[in-house]
Structure 1
Amino acid sequence: MKKEYDYLVVGAGLFGAVFAHEAALAGKRCLVIDKRNHAGGNIYCQETEGIQVHAYGAHIFHTDQAEIWEYANRFVRFNRFTNAPLARYRDELYNLPFNMNTFHQLWGVKTPAEARARLAVECEKYAYIETPANLEEQALKLGGKDIYERLIKGYTEKQWGRSARELPAFIIRRLPFRFTFDNNYFNDAYQGIPVGGYNKLIAALLEGIEVRLSCNYLEDRPYWDSLADRILFTGCIDAFFDYRYGHLEYRSLRFESALLEIPDFQGNAVVNYTERDIPFTRIIEHKHFEFGQQPCTVITHEYPEAFQPGKEPYYPVNDEKNTRLFQSYQQLAAAHPQVLFGGRLAQYTYADMDDTMATALQLWKKEYQRILEH
């Protein structure tokens, strides 16, 4: 007997929304469910006093894929926001990424030649490190002591919850140095924030598609499975298989937001705090994502945390142990052809929004080809 839906999409985040949109365009009946009480996944925004607050941390859409930029712009208009974060260390401010402004702030140099010469001197002190054994050695070899201690060490140790000497070198295989006065964090050709927030993007993608919120697929799997012929699962792949081989490791985040009755707090959307003894990694001031002119402002302190059940998994720990564990789960997934696995949690990866969109589109194209062949 034909089931009620062609596809059950578990997760109303960006990946699931793009897939469901494409399936619906092809005439497929889709049901999208999410265990949260809102759609949008981690790009969900909460409006406060006319300010779109990025509820799960700063999200800036950027891409060098023209076709993905054009696809996203079908659903929402983007503004011209350019990500130019600052780093604060002992009450001094430094521009990111590392560029001529940063080098001038560090060393007083004024020309690219002066900056290259000073960087060479700083790195020469660590030329004896032939094969870096950890992140600290890798960073010192690439950028020298000043850059490492002021702008990398504390922030990275807070982010990963351990000493830089305990972190693998591959995390920081290269440092992007720019010898121009350019504070644009991304190199991509296209960049911006949806005017009115990311909820508009998700709403446009899911328009006309049935969405049920506060529904946990894993708590009543037989019921949900009975509704659709095929399933797209965007949750944690180890949870889908009841942690048969153990838990994949993540780092989590905690956010503390506050409404301030002042027009501006820090004058920039993102300021990183790189000292180790300051517990948060950055402060986000949300109104600057959309050049807000409200008389008040909303700021969010972002605190890295160890991941535990009940917390949101943000950053996969892609070391050798977890990579092997993920591969074991991939083998299990291959034995379930009626279930598609997609998204950052199911693929155990950190993915930018453009790559998330592109991967969802690719998965649908593959799925559509299967339909045509059958």
Structure 2
Amino acid sequence: MKYDYLVVGAGLFGAIFAHEANKRGKKVLVIDKRDHVAGNIYTKEVEGINVHVYGAHIFHTSNEEVWNYVNQFAKFNRYTNSPIAYYKGQVYNMPFNMNTFAKLWPEVRTPAEAKAKIEAERAKVAVENPQNLEEQALSLGGKEIYEIFVKGYTQKQWGRPCTELPAFIIKRLPFRFTYDNNYFNDDYQGIPIGGYTQIVEKMLDGIEVRLNTDFLENREEYENIADKIVYTGMIDQYYDYKLGTLEYRSLRFETEVLDEENFQGNAVVNYEEYEIPYTRIIEHKHF
């Protein structure tokens, strides 16, 4: 059988493309090398809790058309992302806001005081032309903010010292001079009631899907099965690394089921210290 489109990858992009093409009368085949659809937004129920298997995904947008589109497939709750940062026995609100500044500097209470304090901290280091991430972060917020909130976490996240990372990774630090812990400024945010997997399943309803199917292992067969291919995998692998290997930043997950009603009191807690060998703990029930 000849298809109009072969979609490689049953994640959010592939599913939306397949859904829209199918609506327009196109013959579509979707394949995925995993044993499930939904890609990295895949969720599954564990003891009544929808677990984000590949890390936390919070849907947020200021585009009303996008929000209305995704609400066709699931009802969203009112979850607001308000992560906590832990550093040497202290907890701080994220993103950087007046709650953070007041905890960090007890003498600071007003936005004007916070701005003045940050400018004073920046002046102490006076980095005019940052050459790496460390210098860029120091120039934006000073030494104390860099040491507590940026250095250790970033080195764990990227697997190398901040002095070896390019400055452009941190173009700005999101300082907010209000007592508001809402991480995203978008008009719409939430998490689908019942998890993300159902969204992709509904998008792919009526479309042929083949799981446990690796495009690159059967490339010759699948390149001739459709008029056009939509490929959502690793682009360097697609070209057989002819132009080199891209440095992807990956994550490793460890999952535990605790016989405890409430472990940390928040969905997301970031661990800023380099000595703590992980970046964050997600407690999925709070989503």
- Structure-2-length-normalised TM-score: 0.98
For residue 78 of structure 2, what is the aligned residue in structure 1?
80
Partner of 2:147: 149
CA distance in structure 1 between the aligned counterparts of 2:212 and 2:178, rounded to whole angstroms: 49
Give the % identical residues.
64
Report the Cα distance in structure 2 between the residues aligned to 1:213 and 1:106, rounded to whole angstroms. Answer: 50
Bigger Cα displacement from structure 2, 246-255 vs 152-161: 246-255
Q: Which residue of 2 aligns with 1:216?
A: 214
Q: CA deviation at 1:196?
A: 0.5
Task: Using CA pairs under 8 Å that are at least 6 residues apart, name the structure with larger relative contact order, 1 or 2.
Answer: 2
Q: Could you say which residue in structure 1 is the equivalent of 2:118?
A: 119
Pairing partner for 1:93 from 69, 83, 91: 91
- Which amino acid in structure 2 is aligned with residue 56 of structure 1? Y
State the distance in 2 between where 1:153 and 1:244 align: 35
Displacement of 1:18 after TM fit? Answer: 0.2
Distance in 2, matches of 1:224 and 1:168, equals 39
2:168 matched residue in structure 1 = 170
Partner of 2:183: 185
Corresponding letter in the other structure for 1:276 = Y
Match of 1:69 in 2: 67
Q: Return the alpha-carbon distance in structure 2 between the equivalents of residues 171 and 37 of structure 1.
A: 34
- What does 1:222-371 align with in structure 2 at a 5 Å threshold? 222-289=220-287
- Find the aligned partners of 1:288 and 1:8 in 2 and give their Cα distance: 38
Cα shift at 1:244:
1.4
C-alpha distance in 2 between matches for 1:47 and 1:245: 41
- The root-mean-square deviation of aligned C-alpha atoms, in Å, is 0.9
Which whole-Å CA distance do the structure 2 matches of 1:256 and 1:58 have between them? 13
What do the CA deviations read for 1:184-204 (whole angstroms, capped 9, x no partner)? 001111100011100111111
CA shift for structure 1 position 279: 1.0
- Report deviation, 1:223: 1.6
Query: In the alignment, which residue of structure 2 is the partner of 1:45?
Result: 43
In structure 1, distance between residues paired with 2:62 and 2:5: 31
Provide the residue aligned with 1:25 in structure 2.
23
Matches within 5 A, 1:102-141: 102-108=100-106, 109-127=108-126, 129-141=127-139
Distance, in Å, in 1 between the alignment partners of 2:134 and 2:239 is 37
Where does residue 13 of structure 2 map in the other structure? 15
Shift of 1:113: 1.8
The DSSP-based 3-state class of the residue aligned with 1:6 is: strand
AA matched with 1:116: K
Q: 2-side partners of 1:210 and 1:44: how far apart?
A: 19
Listed as ranges, the gaps of 5+ residues in structure 1 are: 290-374
C-alpha displacement of 1:207: 1.0
CA distance in 1: counterparts of 2:217 and 2:61, whole angstroms: 37
**Partners of 2:110 and 2:134 in 1: how far apart?**
28
User: How far apart are the structure 2 equivalents of 1:271 and 1:219?
Assistant: 39
Amino acid aligned to 1:21: H
**How far apart in 2 are the matches of 1:238 and 1:168?**
22
Aligned-pair CA distance for 1:227 = 2.2
Listed as ranges, the gaps of 5+ residues in structure 2 are none
**In structure 1, C-alpha distance between the alignment counterparts of 2:25 and 2:116, rounded to whole Å:** 62
Query: How far is 1:225 from its partner?
Result: 2.3
Which letter maps to 1:176? P
Query: Do the aligned partners of 2:5 and 2:26 also contact (CA within 8 Å) in 1?
Result: yes
Corresponding residue SS for 2:50: strand
1:57 maps to what in 2?
55
Instruction: Please give the per-residue CA displacement for 1:316-356, whole angstroms capped at 9, x wherever unaligned.
Output: xxxxxxxxxxxxxxxxxxxxxxxxxxxxxxxxxxxxxxxxx
Structure 1 residue 211: Cα displacement? 0.7
Q: Does structure 1 retain, via aligned residues, the 8 Å contact 2:131–2:167? A: yes
Shift of 1:252: 1.1
CA distance in 2, matches of 1:119, 1:238: 42
> How far apart, CA to CA, are the structure 2 residues paired with 1:73 and 1:8?
26
Structure 1: 4+ residue segments shifted above 6 A: none
In the aligned structure 2, how far is the partner of 1:16 from the partner of 1:173?
Answer: 31
- Aligned-residue offset at 1:240: 1.4
Deviations 1:129-188 (A, max 9, x none): 210111111111111111110111100011111111111111112111111000000111
